[in-house]
Structure 1
Amino acid sequence: MEKSKIIRDPIHKDIKVKESEISIVDTENFQRLRNIKQTGLTCLVYPSANHTRFEHSLGTMYVAGEMAKKLNNPNLDINLIRILGLLHDIGHPPYSHTLEVNNYDHEYYTRQKIKKMNFENYQSREVLESYNSKGLIGKLIHGEMDSDRMDYLIRDSYHTGVAYGSIDIHRIISSITDFEDSNSLGILEKGVSAIESLLIARYQMYPTVYMHPVSRIAECMLKNATLDILKEGIIKNKDLSIMDDIDLVFTLRKSEGYGRELMKMLDTRNLFKNIATFPYRELKPLEIYKLINLTESNLAILEELLYDKMGFKLYLDIPKPPKIVENKVPVLINGKKHRLDEVSPLVQNLKVAYKKSWNVRVYAEPNKISNESIQTQKYNIKNSPYELKNIIYNLIDEYELVNELELFDNNFIINILAENPVVKGYSTFMAYAKNKGLSEAILSSELQKLLFSGMVKKRTVQMGGIYRYDYKLVDESIISR
């Protein structure tokens, strides 16, 4: 019998780690995670949030293994699933998601690292194929209801000290099931309330922790500092896959230019100031749609144009639209499968709640501007932040920073909706996308943007014992563009 060690964890208590898994933990790729903060610069708001990707990965391994044991599926290799839980984050850059800049893709670098690793009982090809799996194995690690999410919610709540994130992991695990016909992961009816509590916890963590204005400001500064040293050629994108937080901070402190200045400001907690907030509810669908379609490079151009116009440094913080992938989780009720959002009114309402907590903010350089001086500028943005909003959109349009031809004329979803007052069923879009050689990932991403912005509305239609989603274009004025 393979030897094992016990690692004491504040979340899951004793985590048993096998000797073959210890050999992975002891690699340079995995040890690097000890120095990568799980929640970026949240520690500037919640001082105890210094937990890292290292312990989160151990926790994900544990939860993934427990989920696989519960399924008791002969096609599942529990040992391999635990390894995938260990390795799922090894491609992260310093400070985790904060520095997924310049098209950095942590999943790509995770794959590249797995290719070069040695495993006691598996070929690297086997591990990589399982990591890429879209079936049951993949869903246990990065699906709608995965081990990654279940660990980080509890862990982030524990280390930040907030009163959210308390979910009944064991109840969820006892309720999971797999569906042979679709090779997917779902839950039994008895687990619906446990999944709902997970979703509530994540929603509460979203504005309180993950979107906290101060941590967002700090992360925006760190991101721009890193973009500066990337632009100067001090580091390359791929270097982020081998650096940890310590490497990055050292590099920024020793660099010349604006990146070093931003790092010094972070060191002394001299942060940019939030001078304008544009809540979701006060933005028009087209305004939201344009903002979330700004590329990273065009956002940088917009910020430079704002600097020229306003006379001081500004950063725009445009969060990615929140994803609620759990709404797709299949629920087994009386022998029939339903989506979670079809049987849970709470899940439907959470979609609306997430939108209301989504804000676009504008940050100004503290050393160059004060609240009083904002008023004395050419543009009175302190008393009327929407004057600044008008300036932003005028610049986007004047310099064509968002390609409206691609947004509207070449958008196949909008074209279909322009020809049909109501599109009945997601399968209509799927068939068109397939005919055009477009992947479901592209379809899903674009449809989510349109739905989130409010450009397109979705309605659930019950047809006997099944459900269908109908789609309608809200702003029909864009058809005449």
Structure 2
Amino acid sequence: MATTSESSSEKEETIFQGKVFNDPIHGHLELHPLLVKIIDTPQFQRLRFIKQLGGAYFVYPGASHNRFEHSIGVAHLAGELVRALRTRQPELGITDEDILCVQIAGLCHDLGHGPFSHLYENLFLLQHEKASIEMFDYLVKDNKVEEEMKKSGLDPTKDLDFIKEMIYGPLDTEVVQDNEWPYKGRSEDKSFLYEIVSNKRNGIDVDKFDYFARDCHHLGMKNNFDYHRFFHFARVCEVDGKKQICVRDKEEGNIYDMFHTRYQLHKSAYQHKVTKIIEAMITDAFVKADEHIKIESSEGKIFTLSTAIDDMEAYTKLTDRVFEQILFSSSTELKEAKQILMRIISRDLYMFLEEEKKPTKVITLDYGMKDENPVDRMNFYSKKNPDKADKLPKEKVKM
């Protein structure tokens, strides 16, 4: 049995092996050594070269931030929320292993993004969450991360599934019966853990908390949503037999501020007219360049811009840098694509879109769930009865 001094020494060594990141949004973040191990892989470092907001950088000069720092921020916030729940409700049985897995999911949730983020995803009909779990599998295998997981007390046989499920959802593609628990990584009594990184139930998760704050900061916009308050008042309650993350009834205004911030970001930046025109031009350039961009894997196989997603080693090499590769190319095969990108640089933008592209420019703004009010899927508890949560009274629901 280890002595007290030995235990203290081991704990100090673990802290020492971690790293402190100075983030412009969240301040100084201290990350576990296993998270640092993942960050220091080529697959994760690739995110340094993928713009968070795609073509919006050509409209907003401050929007130069990348998926790299966003992913670190999400890992941090995931840890903050799950630790807050454990401190407030020790009866939930949240373990150190749960916390570490939730943070890894936050860190790796965007590994699958391609050049200019959602632009590549929309162009090649890619689901970035699916690509993220494929890239995560490749990262784990290529860097022997399973060994590091075991050293940190994790069990790869179940925890790898748990991490991927938090990013993507149920991994089993077969139809799951309504009364059947669809996840393998954790049992149903920990269903609330699946609402932290990517909340399929109501869209309220730490991924949004980070990118709302980060995007507003770099765009020079105001963010009225206070995620610190959400963490302070978040609580797990049982609703219809399922454990869900709920919040105090008096916090409905803060939740509405979150969805209003989302609306404003889409209206002012993500769906900005010039942003969409520039992204249409980049899309045209990528389509023309597609078969002429050659990406080689270690086995000598050659992939193109559109097929690189079929091989994670090749995909690791595909980032926003392909824009400059085309822009500065002297290849006659890339001439047409280069001319389009030159027009972006010289601000000779498309004045209108061709007929076949008009449907893609019809933009409908909402609060994240089309005609449905997302707050209808959020449950609130009261100060008098913190263990019982329910929907807001109709008179308090607003759009």
With normalisation by structure 1, the TM-score equals 0.60
CA contact (8 A) 1:114 1:124 kept: no
Partner AA of 2:28 in structure 1:
D
Evaluate the alpha carbon distance shift between residue 246 and residue 233 of structure 1 in structure 2; reply closer, same or farther with a 3 A threshold.
closer
CA contact (8 A) 2:263 2:367 kept: no
CA contact (8 A) 2:46 2:319 kept: yes
The correspondence for 1:317, drawn from 361, 365, 370, is 361
Residue 195 of structure 2: aligned partner:
139
- What per-residue deviation string (whole Å, max 9, x for no partner) do you get for residues 303-324 of structure 1? 5xx48xxxxx978523476452
What's the secondary structure of 1:32's corresponding residue?
A: helix
Residue 389 of structure 1: aligned partner:
none
The alignment status of 1:57 with 2:71, answered yes or no, reads yes
Where does the alignment leave 5 or more consecutive residues of structure 2 unmatched? 1-10, 87-91, 170-190, 295-303, 310-314
CA contact (8 A) 2:235 2:245 kept: yes
Evaluate the alpha carbon distance shift between residue 167 and residue 69 of structure 1 in structure 2; reply closer, same or farther with a 3 A threshold.
same
Higher relative contact order (Cα pairs below 8 Å, separated by 6+ residues): 2
C-alpha distance in 1 between matches for 2:53 and 2:271? 11
The correspondence for 2:378, drawn from 318, 329, 345, is 329
CA contact (8 A) 2:75 2:107 kept: yes
Cα offset for 1:260?
2.5
- What per-residue deviation string (whole Å, max 9, x for no partner) do you get for residues 206-240 of structure 1? 21111111111111111222233336675243425
Q: Which has the higher strand share?
A: 1
Q: How many residues align?
A: 312
Residue 41 of structure 1: aligned partner:
55
The correspondence for 1:74, drawn from 49, 73, 93, is 93
The correspondence for 1:212, drawn from 243, 264, 272, is 272
Where does the alignment leave 5 or more consecutive residues of structure 1 unmatched? 276-302, 308-312, 350-481
* 1:432-471 pair list within 5 angstroms: none
Evaluate the alpha carbon distance shift between residue 38 and residue 169 of structure 1 in structure 2; reply closer, same or farther with a 3 A threshold.
same
Cα offset for 1:34?
0.6
CA contact (8 A) 1:49 1:160 kept: yes
C-alpha distance in 2 between matches for 1:38 and 1:115? 23
* 1:69-468 pair list within 5 angstroms: 69-72=83-86, 73-75=92-94, 77-100=98-121, 101-116=123-138, 117=140, 118-119=145-146, 120-121=148-149, 122=154, 123=156, 126-133=159-166, 134=169, 135-143=191-199, 144-162=203-221, 164-180=222-238, 181-230=241-290, 235-239=304-308, 241-242=315-316, 243-251=318-326, 253-254=328-329, 255-256=333-334, 258-274=336-352, 306=355, 316-319=360-363, 322=366, 324-325=368-369, 326-327=374-375, 328-333=377-382, 334=385, 336-339=388-391, 342=394, 344-346=396-398, 349=399
Residue 17 of structure 1: aligned partner:
31
Q: What RMSD in Å do the two structures reach over aligned CA positions?
A: 2.6
Cα offset for 1:6?
1.1
What's the secondary structure of 1:324's corresponding residue?
A: coil
- What per-residue deviation string (whole Å, max 9, x for no partner) do you get for residues 318-345 of structure 1? 3476452542222224565334595643
Evaluate the alpha carbon distance shift between residue 239 and residue 344 of structure 1 in structure 2; reply closer, same or farther with a 3 A threshold.
farther
Partner AA of 1:193 in structure 2:
G
Partner AA of 1:78 in structure 2:
I
- What per-residue deviation string (whole Å, max 9, x for no partner) do you get for residues 99-154 of structure 1? 21221121111111222312412427623333314532221001121110000001
- What per-residue deviation string (whole Å, max 9, x for no partner) do you get for residues 386-444 of structure 1? xxxxxxxxxxxxxxxxxxxxxxxxxxxxxxxxxxxxxxxxxxxxxxxxxxxxxxxxxxx
C-alpha distance in 2 between matches for 1:223 and 1:184? 40
C-alpha distance in 2 between matches for 1:49 and 1:14? 21
CA contact (8 A) 2:288 2:334 kept: no
What's the secondary structure of 1:151's corresponding residue?
A: helix
What's the secondary structure of 2:51's corresponding residue?
A: coil
